[in-house]
Amino acid sequence: MTILKYAAAAGCGFAFALALTQSDLWAAAVAPRFPKGIPNLTENNTGAPGGNWLAGAKDDAERIRRLQIYAGGTDQQMWQVGYRYEQTFHAITDGNWDFALYQWGKLRDVMNVAFMKRPNRTPNGEAFFLDSVWGQVEGVLKSKDPQAARAAFNQVARQACQGCHEAEAMPWLNTQDVFKRTASFPN
C-alpha cells in the first residue's frame, strides 16, 4: 500500500467511526447491560444496569442470589489455600514460626469457608485434613523444630491435600505448580 492509499484508508476509517459514535447503533453498542452468561439479571433489577449491582437488585432474595454467584465455589477458597500453603512452606524454610502458625491458622479458616459453601466436600475435607492432620501439623509448628516441621509438611500435610484431591476425583490438581514449588525444602 502506498502512503497515499494508507492515508485515504485511515481517513475513511475515521469518518466511519465518527458516524458510528453519533448513531443510535453505537449508543446501543456501548450502553451498560448485564452479561448473557448469568440468567435473569435484567428482569430482577430495579433500574437500568449500572454500578449498583447489589443495591439495584429488586429484593433481598435476588441480592443473596447475586452474592452467592459472586462468592463462587470451592475453587475460590482453594486458590487462597494454595497461597497460604506455600507461605507456610517459606515460613518453615525461614524458621519464621509465628508466620508459619499465622498462615496455618488462616488456611484452616478458609478451608472451612469452602466447605460451608460446598458441604458435599466436607466429609473428605474433614477426614483427610481438618479433623486430625491440621492439628498435628500445628503442634509440630509450635515445637519450632525445623526437621520435624519439614517432615510434617512434606509427609503429612502434602499427602492430606493430595489425598483429598484424589478422593474428589481431581488427581490432576496434584501436578499443579504449587505442589511442584513446595515438593522439597532447600538444604
List residues binding ligand HEC (CB under 6 A): 73-75, 78-79, 81-82, 85, 107, 121, 124-125, 128-129, 157, 161, 164-165, 168, 170, 173, 178
In whole angstroms, the minimum distance from the beta carbon of 40 to ligand HEC comes to 23
CB nearer ligand HEC, residue 45 or residue 74: 74
CB nearer ligand HEC, residue 21 or residue 159: 159
Q: Tell me, what DSSP letter sits at residue 54? A: T
Q: Tell me, what DSSP letter sits at residue 152? A: I
CB nearer ligand HEC, residue 50 or residue 171: 171
Cβ atoms of 85 and 107 closer than 8 Å: yes
Which residues have CB under 8 Å from 85's CB, separation 6+?
A: 107, 157, 161, 178, 182
Q: How far apart are CA 70 and CA 34, in angstroms?
A: 14
- Give helix then strand counts, H and E, for the chain: 10, 0
In whole angstroms, the minimum distance from the beta carbon of 101 to ligand HEC comes to 15
In whole angstroms, the minimum distance from the beta carbon of 167 to ligand HEC comes to 7
Nearest one of 103, 109, 108, 110 to 79, comparing CA atoms? 110
CB nearer ligand HEC, residue 80 or residue 96: 80
In whole angstroms, the minimum distance from the beta carbon of 164 to ligand HEC comes to 3
Kindly state the helix (H) or strand (E) to which residue 101 belongs, with its residue range. helix 97-117
Cβ atoms of 185 and 154 closer than 8 Å: yes
CB nearer ligand HEC, residue 66 or residue 165: 165
Q: Which residue has 490432576 as its cell numbers?
A: 172
CB nearer ligand HEC, residue 44 or residue 93: 93
